[in-house]
Chain A
């Protein structure tokens, strides 16, 4: 349960160590641009991939701005209509699914999880990267192992029962608690810490009499800030999309945004497809905004995570 594993979302731990120090982001874009000029085929192929990547998203906007009967006929609507406002209003006020409450709950849940994961990961990552203590190798191995075990499913039944016993069904803490720590976060912060905090600075601080926590606070945290941003973004995105566990412990009365869309799309009484798509559109807005603002960092984070080990 603690390791938020999703299909393929982790950096490549087994990748080779880089042959040279990683250049800064914008330099990397130029220097890494490859050795070969792209052929026509390459360009066409990439364009096709790009179109395929964006088309379903585009189509969602199209349907969200048109009417249901346009959505289910053939040929399907391919140009946006003028109905977005009406659909927005309907989706947000639909009695079947409380999208606004879902958005709020998702923000609370994902925000709490993100803060916790980032803080706990910087603590542990720092310890594993820079401190010598007995058993650190074994413990780090355990962390790596937990990244790969499907605790989500092994823990599902008992955690569900525990939440029942505690009377926490339908409360947000039930959705939050199992996700507070994440092996991937520890691993990632360890990699960043190895790279960005020179041993000499820590030694110097020790000679000055700084305590371990003092070093973490005054030296490690500032140095890790860029890595923390990336970890926070990735954690936020993964947890925003979490479905199974909230589906178990929350209900339509107190949903996350994902549960609200499911409800919107499968509720017995609502069949307004364009409204469903509008709800879906609303649900991805927060992530899409993050993506547009921090796209560079997200791309960089995914790529760096894979080569930093």
Chain B
């Protein structure tokens, strides 16, 4: 990227539109200068236009990634002078000694599955419903989208009350109908369930709008032909809608998996702002482990290693995800 020349050309053009009409009375040498400038503009300016993105990305994206790699191979602690190269020791600690890390991956994957699968199914059903001939379309769409205005922190505050053990609304209802109250925080699955509800509540409407938009691009002739053939609405949903939506479903599942693997605020707020994710880390996600090691223990090296391991897991999950969704929506 030749930044100097492009900046020149940028300045030249910013000086204003050309004074003369296409080269009528322009002397030859000035014309060739203009020609060269023009060529530089066409060749160089595109790079100048994309440069801000890539420059900032390099500073705040690429460089930190490389630096994280460097840090993860060293002992590096706050308040302890000196860094020592230790190879993969930080990684092996996380993988083989620090049980919370392994469990955090299980927790993250579990909560991701628990949150994403029902969420996408619900979103598909809601989208299908919104795709019917309803009055006040915009009202319904905004209604299902409303949770998105709530910040994650706010969701955490509200849902922590709803799922509270002694004074929570859900347990109140359970006791009302004669069941035992559940200590949602204590169990692994129960805590996952409560946290998944926060994710689902916030994102279901958003995803259903994406599905709805894709449904609207499905040519109606397909349905008309199917109706003529006597296919029921349910059959049409499975044999036309789902296959047609396949690319959108894959993409949504993919993005959800990246987001889901970085789950942090919901479980943190579920535990009164703590990073330990319950008494035994039963709902501690990998992001929480990473931040806990960084903030509570001041250990940069191990925290950086956790960052890279998380990255690898996300890549793996995204790939598996792609294969599964591809298989499912392809076979129907």
Contacts and interface: CB of A to CB of B under 8 A. Distances in A.
Q: Is the pairing of A and B real? A: yes
A10 B217 contact: no
Given A56-B150, A139-B54, A299-B138, A280 B213 contact: no
Interface string B249-274: 01110111011111111000100110
A273 B164 CA distance: 13
A19 B18 contact: no
Interface string B120-144: 0010011001111110011011111
Contact of A153 (B46, B60, B310): B310
A283 interface: yes
Contacts of A266: 272-273
A35 B251 contact: no
In terms of DSSP, what is the predominant structure of the interface of chain B?
helix
Nearest to B253: A8
Interface of B: 9-10, 12-14, 17-18, 21-22, 38, 41-43, 45-47, 49-50, 52-54, 56-57, 60-61, 63-65, 67-68, 71, 122, 125-126, 129-134, 137-138, 140-155, 157-159, 161-162, 167, 169, 172, 175-176, 199, 201-207, 209-210, 212-214, 216-217, 219-220, 223-224, 233, 244, 247-248, 250-252, 254-256, 258-265, 269, 272-273, 287, 290-291, 294-295, 300, 303-304, 307-308, 310-311, 314, 318
Q: Which of A13, A75, A154 has the most CB of B within 10 A?
A: A154
Contacts of A131: 42, 45-46, 49
A257 to B, nearest CB: 8
Nearest to A54: B146
B161 A214 contact: no
B272 to A, nearest CB: 5
Contacts of A52: 201
Contacts of B201: 52-53, 56
Given A49-B126, A156-B294, A148 B162 contact: no
Contact of A213 (B45, B133, B152, B265): B45
Contacts of B144: 49-50, 53
A127 B259 contact: no
Top-6 shortest CB links A-B: A7-B259, A211-B13, A155-B64, A303-B213, A74-B172, A266-B273
Given A158-B67, A261-B151, 10 more contacts: A35-B223, A132-B46, A133-B43, A154-B311, A155-B61, A157-B303, A214-B17, A243-B151, A248-B291, A306-B209
A204 interface: no
A33 B133 contact: yes
A120 interface: yes
A232 interface: no
Contacts of A277: 157-158
A167 interface: no
Interface of A: 1-3, 5-16, 18-19, 28-29, 32-38, 42, 45-46, 49-50, 52-54, 56-57, 59-60, 63, 71-76, 120-121, 123-124, 126-128, 131-133, 136, 139, 142-143, 146, 148-162, 177-178, 180-181, 183, 186, 207-214, 216, 237, 240-241, 243-244, 248, 257-258, 261-262, 265-266, 273, 276-277, 280, 283-284, 287-288, 291, 295-296, 298-299, 302-304, 306-307
Nearest to B213: A303
B13 A76 contact: no
A153 B287 contact: yes
Given A37-B132, A148-B254, A243-B265, A212 B45 contact: yes
A244 B210 contact: no
A148 B10 CA distance: 32
A304 B259 contact: no
13 contacts: A6-B259, A12-B252, A15-B248, A42-B132, A49-B122, A126-B49, A131-B46, A157-B64, A248-B295, A280-B157, A288-B149, A291-B146, A291-B148
B68 A158 contact: yes
B133 A37 contact: yes
A150 B261 contact: yes
A157 B141 contact: no
A214 B318 contact: no
Contact of B251 (A15, A54, A136): A15
A18 B71 CA distance: 47
Nearest to B150: A284
Nearest to B72: A157
B308 to A, nearest CB: 7
Contacts of A128: 50
Contact of B41 (A146, A151, A212, A257): A212
A156 B214 contact: no
Contact of A212 (B46, B155, B259): B46
A112 to B, nearest CB: 13
Contact of B157 (A15, A162, A261, A288): A261
Given A37-B133, A277-B157, A57 B146 contact: yes
B13 A214 contact: yes
A9 B50 contact: no
